[in-house]
Structure 1
Amino acid sequence: MKRSEKTDAIKHLYSRASFGITYPELIRLSRLSQKEVLERLLKEAEPFTPLAEAKENILRPSRQDNPSEEDIRAYTKKRTEQEEAVNISWVSRLSADKADLREKLTLFWHGHFACRTTNGYYNQQLNNVQRKHALGNFRTLVTEVAKTPAMLSFLNNQQNRKGKPNENFARELMELFTLGRGHYTEADIRESARAFTGWQFRPESAGFFFNERQHDRGTKVFFGRSGNFQGEDIINMILEQKQCAYFIAERMYRFFVNDTPDPMHVRDLGDYFYGQNYEITALIRRMFSSKWFYNEKNVGNKIKSPIEFLVGLNRSFYIQYARPRVLLQLQRSLGQALFYPPNVAGWPGGTSWIDSSSLLTRLKLPSTLLNGGILESEGKADPEDEAYLATARRSQPNVERKTQAFPDWERFRRTLPAAITREQLAYVLLASRVKAVSLEKIEQSDLVQMAIQLVSTPEYQLC
Structure 2
Amino acid sequence: MDRKDNFTNIKHLYNRAGFGIAYPDLLQLSKRKISKAIKGLLTVSNQGTELTVITPDEFKQQQLILSGLNGKKELSPDEKQQREDITKARNEKSRELNLSWIQRMITTENPLLEKMTLFWHGHFACRSNNPFYAQQLNNIQRNNALGNFKTLLLEVSRSPAMLDYLNNQQNRKGHPNENFSRELMELFTLGRGNYTENDIKEAARSFTGWAYNKSGDFEFNQRAHDEKEKTFFGQTGTFDGEAIIDRILARPETATFICRKLYIFFVNDTPDENHVKELAGHFYEQKYDISALMNSLFSAEWFYSKTNTGNKIKSPVEFLVNLSREFYVTYSKPQILIQLQSSLGQYLFNPPNVAGWPGGKTWIDSSSLMLRLKIPSLVLNDGILDFDGKADPEDEAVIALNKKQKPRPVRSYINAKADWSKFLACFPKDMKQTELAAFLLEPPVDKKISDVIASNIKLKNTAIAVTSMPEYQLC
CA contact (8 A) 2:436 2:463 kept: yes
Structure 2 CA distance for aligned equivalents of residues 115 and 374 of structure 1? 33
Q: Deviations over 1:352-377 (max 9, x none)?
A: 000000000000011111113499xx
2:287 aligned to which of 249, 256, 277: 277
In the other structure, the counterpart of 2:420 is 409
Distance 1:6 1:433, change over 3 A: same
Q: Deviations over 1:384-403 (max 9, x none)?
A: xxxxxxxxxxxxxxx99711
Could you tell me the TM-score, scaled by structure 2's length? 0.90
CA contact (8 A) 1:45 1:100 kept: no
Distance 1:457 1:108, change over 3 A: same
Are residues 1:168 and 2:179 paired? yes
| SS of match in other structure, 1:4 | helix
In the other structure, the counterpart of 1:289 is 299
CA contact (8 A) 2:383 2:413 kept: no
| SS of match in other structure, 1:32 | coil
What pairs with 1:242-321 in structure 2 (closer than 5 Å)?
242-321=252-331
In the other structure, the counterpart of 1:11 is 11
Are residues 1:206 and 2:216 paired? yes
Structure 2 CA distance for aligned equivalents of residues 67 and 121 of structure 1? 27
Structure 2 CA distance for aligned equivalents of residues 48 and 195 of structure 1? 36
Aligned residue identity for 1:262: D
| SS of match in other structure, 2:151 | helix
Of stretches 37-46 and 233-242 in structure 1, the one that deviates more from structure 2 is 37-46
2:472 aligned to which of 438, 460, 463: 460
2:377 aligned to which of 367, 373, 389: 367
Of stretches 435-444 and 424-433 in structure 1, the one that deviates more from structure 2 is 435-444
2:111 aligned to which of 96, 100, 119: 100
Q: Deviations over 1:218-238 (max 9, x none)?
A: 000000000000000000000
CA contact (8 A) 1:146 1:152 kept: yes
What pairs with 1:325-336 in structure 2 (closer than 5 Å)?
325-336=335-346
In the other structure, the counterpart of 1:179 is 190
Could you tell me the TM-score, scaled by structure 1's length? 0.92
What pairs with 1:32-181 in structure 2 (closer than 5 Å)?
32-44=32-44, 49-55=49-55, 56-57=58-59, 58-59=62-63, 61=66, 62-64=69-71, 66=75, 68=77, 69-181=80-192
Structure 2 CA distance for aligned equivalents of residues 76 and 410 of structure 1? 43
| SS of match in other structure, 2:25 | helix
Q: Deviations over 1:194-235 (max 9, x none)?
A: 000000001x21110100010000000000000000000000
Aligned residue identity for 1:446: K
Of stretches 48-57 and 37-46 in structure 1, the one that deviates more from structure 2 is 37-46
Structure 1 CA distance for aligned equivalents of residues 352 and 169 of structure 2? 22
Aligned residue identity for 2:354: V
Structure 2 CA distance for aligned equivalents of residues 47 and 26 of structure 1? 25
Structure 2 CA distance for aligned equivalents of residues 257 and 48 of structure 1? 30
CA drift at 1:459: 0.6
Q: How many residues align?
A: 439
What pairs with 1:11-30 in structure 2 (closer than 5 Å)?
11-30=11-30
Are residues 1:446 and 2:458 paired? yes
Structure 2 CA distance for aligned equivalents of residues 123 and 64 of structure 1? 25
CA drift at 1:412: 1.0
CA drift at 1:283: 0.6
Structure 2 CA distance for aligned equivalents of residues 250 and 192 of structure 1? 24
CA drift at 1:3: 6.9
Structure 2 CA distance for aligned equivalents of residues 426 and 83 of structure 1? 38
2:348 aligned to which of 338, 341, 364: 338
Structure 2 CA distance for aligned equivalents of residues 357 and 296 of structure 1? 29
Aligned residue identity for 1:223: F
CA contact (8 A) 2:344 2:368 kept: yes
Aligned residue identity for 1:70: Q
Structure 2 CA distance for aligned equivalents of residues 432 and 92 of structure 1? 27
CA drift at 1:4: 0.5
Q: Deviations over 1:385-434 (max 9, x none)?
A: xxxxxxxxxxxxxx997111111111112212122211111122111113
For structure 2, list consecutive stretches of 5 or more residues without a partner in the other structure.
Answer: 386-409
In the other structure, the counterpart of 2:393 is none
Structure 1 CA distance for aligned equivalents of residues 365 and 448 of structure 2? 24
2:246 aligned to which of 224, 227, 236: 236
Of stretches 54-63 and 263-272 in structure 1, the one that deviates more from structure 2 is 54-63
Structure 2 CA distance for aligned equivalents of residues 225 and 254 of structure 1? 33
CA drift at 1:449: 1.4
CA drift at 1:48: 6.2
Q: Deviations over 1:123-152 (max 9, x none)?
A: 110000000000000011000000000000
Aligned residue identity for 1:78: A
Aligned residue identity for 1:409: W
Aligned residue identity for 2:414: T
Are residues 1:218 and 2:228 paired? yes
| SS of match in other structure, 2:219 | strand
| SS of match in other structure, 1:91 | helix
Structure 2 CA distance for aligned equivalents of residues 435 and 355 of structure 1? 24
Report the aligned-residue RMSD.
1.8
Are residues 1:197 and 2:208 paired? yes
